[in-house]
Amino acid sequence: MEVMNRVALADFLRRRRESLRPWDVGLVPGPRRRTPGLRREEVAGLTGMSTDYYTRLEQQRGPQPSEQMLAALSRALRLTVDERDHLYRLAGHGVPRRTPLDSHVAPALLRVLDRLDDCPALIINSLGETLVANRLAISIFGDRSRSAGWARSDVYRWFTDPAARSVYPEADHDRQGRSLVASLRAAYGMVGERSRAGELVRVLLAESPEFRTLWERHEVSVRFQDHKTLIHPEVGEIDVDCQALFTEDQSQALLVLTPTPGSEAEEKVRLLAVLGNEQFTRPSDQAH
């Protein structure tokens, strides 16, 4: 581990914070803002760290941040991959490998997600791992980004945790399972058997007979644009159309779930927006 450059790190964080505006990160600007850019407490809130901890980093007196904290800062400050790598070097850490399965969220997708507050939306990678989600998506799916290990992957949970299927009607389980395996097959073909995709395939082949059967079909597709019926424990079934916006290398996708205007599903989504997600805990959240 290299030495942390406190002076340069503090300057970089401050300049990136001051270059952003609240609407750049999905925040509503309040009255009497005197600070150019984001406030320190706003950056802290976006990363999940305390305001005191972040303030000490900008004042050149904070402890060395962990790699997990640097990843959170990279997302909060909407850093490009080059800027993220620079941040890691200033903090005295090795630079993450750049692969098609890099977990760094594409800033372009984040900017779109920040502006979506009236419909569920989330960003996933090609292994089905949720990287970030808005509050309506969390209300429906739970906060999957907080899961650890393979439990972050939709594919892994689908074939190892029966509770993960509760968000879909039973009649759709076969189609959803085949779709997940076909998407994993596409990622596997792109990055090879020695990648994280290859590791996930080996884990599932060992743990799930159902996965083995579907894997042997050798179906390949990356398909999100279709109609879905989702089940929420409080409001019941919600019919939505799913649209996907991909990064150029197809490694990440922003999924936007929209109900038909004027429909009962739209009313249910509005209800979730009013109620928030604090009172809703899905069974799969409790399991991980």
Q: Model confidence over 27-74: pLDDT tens digits?
A: 777 767 777 789 999 999 988 899 999 999 999 998 999 988 998 899
Residue 64 included in any domain: yes
> Do 142 and 192 belong to one domain?
yes
> Do 57 and 123 belong to one domain?
no
Phi, psi of 122 (to 5 degrees): -155, 155
> Do 43 and 143 belong to one domain?
no
Task: Give the model confidence (pLDDT) of 149-158 as tens digits.
Answer: 898 899 999 9
Query: What is the pLDDT of the chain when averaged over all its residues?
Result: 87
Among 64, 90, 116, identify where a domain stops: 90
- Which CATH number goes with the domain that contains 47? 1.10.260.40
Residue 86 included in any domain: yes
> Do 120 and 224 belong to one domain?
yes
Compute the distance between CA of residue 282 and CA of residue 139 in angstroms, rounded to an integer: 9
Residue 156 included in any domain: yes
Among 45, 65, 90, identify where a domain stops: 90
Residue 101 included in any domain: no
Residue 97 included in any domain: no
SS3 for the chain is CCCCCHHHHHHHHHHHHHHCCHHHHCCCCCCCCCCCCCCHHHHHHHHCCCHHHHHHHHCCCCCCCCHHHHHHHHHHCCCCHHHHHHHHHHCCCCCCCCCCCCCCCCHHHHHHHHCCCCCCEEEEECCCEEEEECHHHHHHHCCHHHCCHHHHEHHHHHHHCHHHHHHCCHHHHHHHHHHHHHHHHHHHHHHCCCCHHHHHHHHHHHHCHHHHHHHCCCCCCCCCCCEEEEEECCCEEEEEEEEEEECCCCCEEEEEEECCCCCHHHHHHHHHHHHCCCCCCCHHHHHC
> Do 253 and 151 belong to one domain?
yes
Give yes or no for residue 101 having a pLDDT over 80. Answer: no
Residue 267 included in any domain: yes
> Do 142 and 279 belong to one domain?
yes
> Do 29 and 136 belong to one domain?
no
Contact 182, 145 (CB under 8 A): no
Residue 96 included in any domain: no
Percent of the chain with pLDDT over 70: 91
> Do 85 and 115 belong to one domain?
no
Contact 267, 227 (CB under 8 A): no
> Do 124 and 239 belong to one domain?
yes
Task: Give the model confidence (pLDDT) of 124-146 as tens digits.
Answer: 998 989 988 998 999 898 887 77
> Do 117 and 64 belong to one domain?
no
Contact 123, 265 (CB under 8 A): no
What's the number of domains the chain is made of?
A: 2
182 lies in which domain range? 107-287
